[in-house]
Amino acid sequence: MKYKAHVTGREGRWWAVEIPELGKNAQTQARRLAEVEGEARDYISVTLDVAPSSVHVQVIVDDFAQVYDVQERSAWIRAARRLIEQLETDVQRETRALTNELTAEGVPLREIAYLVGTTFQRVGQLATEEAAGATRSAWAISERNPEVFERAREAFLAVTRVAEPAPPRV
């Protein structure tokens, strides 16, 4: 059984939660947003006299007070954080690989630091790390996994794009 638990706002120190599938008065509360799913599941299972394990709850944070698009903005932030983490991993892997390749060719650490956009001290750390099988260039991986550079390209375009300001809400 699937149900939606709508977080409708704050009432003092509590989050107000409505479960519309159970009727107009189906309401509960939770102290923290992380507890909403469990509180809603318990409410539903007691109301319907079913096992809590048979109840699946989707938490939806509705707009409240002067805060709009909470659910969508929250989802965007979480997705952006995942993208940033993926890109950071790709950048670290590629920095390490290029540093090792340039070091093997005798390029000075300060020059490598300039190329990869970090300090020469960090390049020195990367150059002294065990290189045997420790790095695989994202560049080489991208031939089999083009998403690596597509993610970077899309992130770069998103950051550099000048967005038009949204009209104010009334």
Which pLDDT score, from 0 to 100, does residue 133 have?
A: 46
In sequence order, the 6+-apart residues with CB closer than 8 A to the CB of 8 are: 16, 17, 18, 62, 64
**Judgement on whether residues 63 and 137 belong to the same structural domain of the protein:** no
Residue 170 lies in a domain: no
Residue 77 within a domain? yes
pTM over 0.75: no
Residues 79 and 153 in one domain: yes
Per residue in 79-102, pLDDT tens? 999 989 999 999 999 999 999 999
Average pLDDT for 29-54: 97
49 domain-assigned: yes
Judgement on whether residues 55 and 101 belong to the same structural domain of the protein: no
- Residues 86 and 12 both lie in one domain: no
What pLDDT, on the 0 to 100 scale, is given for residue 137?
A: 54
Residue 44's domain comprises: 2-67
**pLDDT score of 129:** 77
* 95 and 52 inside one domain: no
Q: Is residue 168 part of a domain?
A: no
**Mutual angle of helices 109-116 and 120-128, in 10-degree steps:** 110
Range from 9-13, 16-20, 133-137, 155-159 carrying the lowest mean pLDDT: 133-137
User: Using an 8 Å Cβ cutoff, are 29 and 39 in contact?
Assistant: yes
Tell whether the model's pLDDT for residue 144 goes beyond 80.
no
Question: How many domains, in total, are found in the chain?
Answer: 2
Residue 131 is predicted with a pLDDT of 46
Asked, for residue 107, whether it belongs to a domain, the answer is yes
Q: pLDDT class for 128, splitting at 50, 70, 90?
A: confident
SS3 readout for the chain? CEEEEEEEEEECCEEEEECHHHCCCCEEEECCHHHHHHHHHHHHHHHHCCCHHHCEEEEEECCECCECCHHHHHHHHHHHHHHHHHHHHHHHHHHHHHHHHHHHCCCCHHHHHHHHCCCHHHHHHHHHCCCCCCCCCHHHHHCCCCHHHHHHHHHHHHHHCCCCCCCCCC
CB 98 within 8 A of CB 116: yes
- Is the domain of 20 the same as that of 94? no
Query: Are residue 51 and residue 12 in the same domain, yes or no?
Result: yes
Domain assignment of residue 57, yes or no = yes
What pLDDT is recorded for position 154?
A: 73
Query: Are 82 and 152 members of one domain?
Result: yes
Query: Are residues 120 and 137 both part of a single domain?
Result: yes
Q: What is the pLDDT averaged over residues 31-52? A: 97
Domain with 22 in it: what CATH number?
Answer: 3.30.160
| Residues 42 and 122 reside in one and the same domain | no
pLDDT, one tens digit per residue, over 53-79 is 999 999 999 999 999 999 999 999 999
